[in-house]
Each structure stands twice: as C-alpha cells, then as structure tokens.
Amino acid sequence: MELEKEIQQPRFQNQFQKLILNIVFTANWLDLRQIQLLKPYDVSPQQYNILRILRGQHPKAATVSLLTERMLDKSSNASRLVEKLRVKKLLEREECPEDRRAVNVKITDKGLELLKKLDPLIGEVEKSMHMITEDEAKAFNDFLDQLRD
C-alpha cells in the first residue's frame, strides 16, 4: 500500500521527505512483524539480536561491549538485555579473568535450541519480500549503505 494511504497524508514537501518517512514507516512495520512473531517465545527483537550475535560467536564468548557494537538497535541497553536473557537461561555470563570489569557472555544450549525454532519463522518474513528480485534487494542494500555513508 502506498505511504500516502498508510499515513493518510496526500502529499509531501518533496520526494526526499517522503523517502525518509517511507524508510521510517517501513522499518517500524518490519519491527512490528518481528515483535508479533517473537512474542509467543517471550523474546524481544533486541533480545533475538543478542542471541543471534552470540550464536555467531559460539563457542567463543563475547563481551557486552562487543554485543553493543554489533547490535542493530544502538539505543538498547545491552547489559539489561543480557540480564533478561540470563534469567531465561538463554545465555550465561561470567566475569572475564583478564579484566574483572568486563563480562563474558555465551549462548546456552537452550538459547541455541530457541534460535532453531525461530529461524524458520524469521525466514517467513524474508519470503514475504518475494515481489522483489535478488538483484533488486542488492540494489536496495547498496542504496541504504550509500545513504548511511
């Protein structure tokens, strides 16, 4: 559906304003879809992101600062997210022997099992983009990378 209809705004100052609003609206739309998929598993998109980062590090540990650097949502508090996931037994944290101020974090088997369940669900979101080709997706990615430069 066209952005104009979605937000009930018949015109924009220019195409750049519409582009910004369209990117923000679409990002929020995708985020809501992800929230709805993850809700039955009691995991937020930010927690899911932490688990995916840790799976990529597995079997090595990651520091909270590494998680912060790699998180998609830079406004999230990684320490708070790690603690919530620890309580759910999806990850373990331990003091770093080399630097007592640092905390090492590792995904647990339970966390890995949860990701195995979630991967196909998140894959369904990707499949919902079937109306664009792989080349068009690459062009979008290149454009968005260029926009952030």
Q: Quick check: bond before 59 cis, omega within 30? A: yes
Among 65, 60, 89, which Cα is nearest to 79's?
65
- pLDDT tens per residue across span 62-90: 998 899 999 998 888 999 999 999 999 99
Distance from C-alpha of 100 to C-alpha of 142, rounded to nearest angstrom: 41
Angstrom CA distances, 142 to 21, 54, 68, 123, 148, stand at: 19, 26, 24, 21, 10
User: What are residue 64's DSSP bridge partners?
Assistant: none
- The per-residue pLDDT for 95 is 81
* Chain position carrying tokens 């966390």: 111
**Interval 10-47: pLDDT, tens:** 999 999 999 999 999 999 999 999 999 999 999 999 99
Query: Could you give phi then psi for residue 38, rounded to 5 degrees?
Result: -85, -20
Query: In b/e form, how buried is each residue of 61-85, taking b as 16+ CB within 10 angstroms?
Result: bbbbebbeeebeeeebebeebbebb
Q: Which runs of E-coded beta strand occur in 42-134? A: 62-63, 91-95, 103-107
Q: What is the CA radius of gyration of the chain?
A: 18
Specify the pTM.
Answer: 0.87
Chain-centroid distance of CA 59 in Å reads 21
